[in-house]
Amino acid sequence: MTRTRSIVLAAAIAAAALTLAACSNGSSGGAYGAAGSTSTSTVAAGTAATVATAEVGQLGTVLVDGDGRTLYLFTNDTGTSSTCSGDCAATWPALTTKGDATAGTGAQASMLGTTTRDDGTTQVTYDGHPLYLYSGDTAAGDANGEGIGDIWFAVTAQGTPAQASGGSTSSSSMGGYGSPTSSGGYGHG
């Protein structure tokens, strides 16, 4: 029985080491956390996404989707092209749309755009940044993804990264990509 536990423990440690290695290599398809599904669609079929603003905790006014969920940018993206796919997209689902996105209260319509993802879906951009949600946010007004890895940030109405007045909430325990930790958290501080 003890040998079986040792083998299971060794396998779990090896899997964790591989996940950490993938997170630290900077690849776009690396293990950014396997929470949730790999679907990037966040709006109903035939529906245009809405981008608005809302007051979110210490961040102040930031972009939110039509349901009030905080929107994020990924500083590793290149121009309007998303570099978040695979496991990354499971943790950071793209804000997708059918047709042009709509500017809600506080968002600037002239800053909205779209880009085509590798999977063929249409992702909403703002001031040239592809927009994402965070799987660790469970309700409107949550901003649990802010500052993770010093590469994920909520977006201001001006299209710049928002940063909480208390500094970064990044995590070094899981490579900063918001991967689930052994305590069930999402790697934020």
Please state the pTM of the whole predicted model. Answer: 0.69
Whole-number pLDDT of residue 46: 61
184 conformational bin, left if phi > 0, alpha if psi -120 to 50, beta if neither? left
Q: Compute the CA torsion angle 176, 177, 180, 182 (nearest 10 deg).
A: -30
Provide DSSP, 53-113: EEEEGGGEEEEEETTS-B-EEETT-BTTB----THHHHHS-B-B-SSS-EE-TT--GGGEE
Q: How far apart are CA 173 and CA 20, in angstroms?
A: 9
Q: 34-48, 57-71, 73-87, 135-149 — which is least confidently predicted?
A: 34-48
Contact 99, 156 (CB under 8 A): no
65 pLDDT higher than 80? yes
Strands 50-56 and 102-103: parallel
In sequence order, what are the residues at sequence separation of 6 or more whose Cβ sits closer than 8 angstroms to the Cβ of residue 90? 32, 33, 34, 35, 36, 37, 38, 135
Whole-number pLDDT of residue 47: 84
Percent of the chain with pLDDT over 90: 59
- Burial class, 92, CB count within 10 angstroms (exposed 0-12 / middle 13-18 / buried 19+): buried
